[in-house]
Structure 1
Amino acid sequence: MKSLILFSMLLFFAMATAQDLEGSWQLMEINDQPVSDRETVRIYMDGYFAQGARETETNKFISALGGEYTMDDFYKETYDFDTADTNNLGKTRTFEPVEIRQNMLILTAEDGTTSTWKRISKKNNDLAGNWVITGKQRSGELSRSTPGARRTIKILGGERFQWVAFNSDTGEFFGTGGGTYKAEDGKYIENIEFFSRDDSRVGASLDFEYDIKNGEWHHRGKSSKGDPIYEIWSPYAEAYKK
């Protein structure tokens, strides 16, 4: 009976910790040394994470990293994309169990490297989650697609968003961008803080309309180039489960 109770407590703790990771975090220190020359933001949602980094003074895009994470005996990350080192694609990296102290997240890798992250926000709304695009309107016609190795995802949580386009089989990386967002009463606003394809877009705000229909996100508005768009995004886990 005691073993069963202990197991239940450990399972509850693991689930609670995984849930507590959800939201947005900013990198503050590496091996106790302050990080001031760049801004690195990480978003955790629905068992997935995405990370984007830019130079603080120039807004120049630096790198992007992301993939699935698990919280079993240890914290593990499996990388779907890594612009800094493509050799990491598909690999799993193991860390010590995460530590969260007063809104500070501490990740310690097997080699002893420690990174310290400060929680930005854990606030969520009806768009919070990890999404993959499964529909797009072209020339007035809406086409649906089944996501495969070539995918475009958008992860939203803790008032931050990041989209990423990549091919998980070949390792090709097509672009990423992110920043802050608001979603309320059918209005979705993105404020761009980094954009791998064009640093000059940093600071721009884009307004869209949205609906949630049958669990899917219907997205209408204009792209960063001013072109009209209509997109359908499906929950990532559900799309790949099918």
Structure 2
Amino acid sequence: MKLKIQFCLLGLFCLMLSTAFSEPAQKHPVNGSWMFTSDNETWLLMAADGYCMVTHYDQAGKKFFKTFGGFLSLENDKLKLQYRFHSGDQGKTGTTAVFTWEPNGKNAESDLSGSRGTWVRVGEADSEMTGIWRITQRKEGANMREIRLAPRRTLKFLTNDRFQWAAINVETGEFSGTGGGTYTFKDGTYAETIHFFSRDSSRVGMTLEFKDRMEGSNWVHTGLSSKGDPIYEVWSKTSKNEQ
């Protein structure tokens, strides 16, 4: 009888141990999409994989103010940002800033916008598409051209429902442009609705549809640009040095 009880206890212990190791890792408290609004102006924070992009814009007025981003860490309600780019001050590239980030239920109190305010979580960051992508190939005519990693690069950041691309130089701090908004990806159709665009505000509000597919760790992106030009691009998930 004692032997049976011992075997039962051992089995229960193994089951508990297996369950503990099979549970998903705890979500990082900043991962996802967050918004802070003041009058008609919006601040958007996208965070995942230790990286973030922050953008200040007025969607209704079709105005873009600034964007910045880089490597992100959180400790003791302090959000540390190592800049990889800043549209308003290229000299900040490579420097580090510290902001408050104090969770308050599903929201957070932060001075990331320059003044303290309540940031509301508006999206998650745990889908297949979540992460930072770099364009690695582009079709030019009938040929595919490889785009090698260089200081000047175009990155595209996705959470579960939001996107932002940024053309930056991580060495000089030069900023060439950005755009972003919300997206859907279903049954091979990828659709973007533009909420901000630094180069051409007239495109804010446009929805663009593409025929996309995943090929391993690559994302094949095909369709027409906002200018109506044909697009055939391959985007790949990035490692830290590519961001």
Give the structure-2-normalised TM-score. Answer: 0.81
CA distance in 2, matches of 1:123, 1:77: 19
Cα deviation 1:188-223 (Å, max 9, x = unaligned)? 100001100100001101001222212111111111
SS of match in other structure, 2:29: helix
The correspondence for 2:210, drawn from 203, 208, 211, is 208
* Greater gyration radius: 2
Aligned in 2, Cα 1:205/1:108: closer, same or farther, shift over 3 Å? closer
User: Given that residues 22 and 158 in structure 1 are in contact (C-alpha distance below 8 angstroms), is that contact kept between their aligned partners in structure 2?
Assistant: no
Matched, 1:46 2:49: yes
In the other structure, the counterpart of 2:87 is 83
Q: What is the aligned counterpart of 1:21 among 16, 30, 44?
A: 30
Q: Judge conservation of contact 1:192–1:204 (CA < 8 Å) in 2.
A: yes
Superposition deviation, residue 85 in structure 1? 2.5
AA in 1 matched with 2:85 = F
Q: Which runs of 5+ in 1 are unaligned?
A: 1-14, 29-34
Aligned counterparts of 1:165 and 1:102: Cα–Cα separation in 2: 35
The equivalent of 2:142 in structure 1 is 140
Q: Separation in 1 of the partners of 2:95 and 2:240?
A: 23
Distance in 1 between the 2:125 and 2:53 partners?
17
1:140 and 1:24 map into 2 onto residues whose CA distance is 38
User: 1:4 corresponds to which residue?
Assistant: none
Question: 1:69 offset after TM fit, Å?
Answer: 0.6
Listed as ranges, the gaps of 5+ residues in structure 2 are 1-24
Evaluate the alpha carbon distance shift between residue 64 and residue 150 of structure 1 in structure 2; reply closer, same or farther with a 3 A threshold.
same
Matched, 1:101 2:104: yes
Q: Is the contact made by 2:90 and 2:172 (CA closer than 8 Å) also made in structure 1?
A: no
User: Greater RCO between the two (CA within 8 Å, min separation 6)?
Assistant: 1
1: distance between equivalents of 2:134 and 2:44?
Answer: 20
Aligned length: 217
**CA-to-aligned-CA distance 1:94-133 (integer Å, 9 cap, x gap):** 245x322222122357xx9534311111165322211111
Q: Cα 1:57–1:229, aligned 2, differ >3 Å: closer, same or farther?
A: closer
What secondary structure sits across from 1:183 in the alignment? strand
Report the residue type matching 1:131 in the other structure. Answer: W
CA distance in 2, matches of 1:108, 1:38: 15
**TM-score normalised by the chain length of structure 1:** 0.81
Distance 1:77 1:93 in 2: 5
Counterparts in 2 of 1:167 and 1:43: CA distance versus 1, 3 Å: same
Aligned to 1:31: none
| Code of the aligned partner of 1:165 | A
Number of the residue aligned with 2:184: 182
Does the 8 A contact of 2:193 with 2:205 survive in 1?
Answer: yes
RMSD between aligned residues: 2.2
Change (3 A) 1:168 1:16: same
Q: Is the 8 A contact 2:93 2:172 kept in 1?
A: no
Q: Is the 8 A contact 2:31 2:125 kept in 1?
A: no
Instruction: Measure, in 2, the Cα distance between the counterparts of 1:176 and 1:23.
Output: 19
Deviation per residue, 1:12-70 (Å, 9 max, x gap): xxx846x2322111114xxxxxx214112111122111122212542111111111112
Quick check: 2:92–2:173 contact (8 Å CA) kept in 1?
no
d(CA) in 1 for partners of 2:48 and 2:229? 29
Match of residue 131 from structure 1: 133
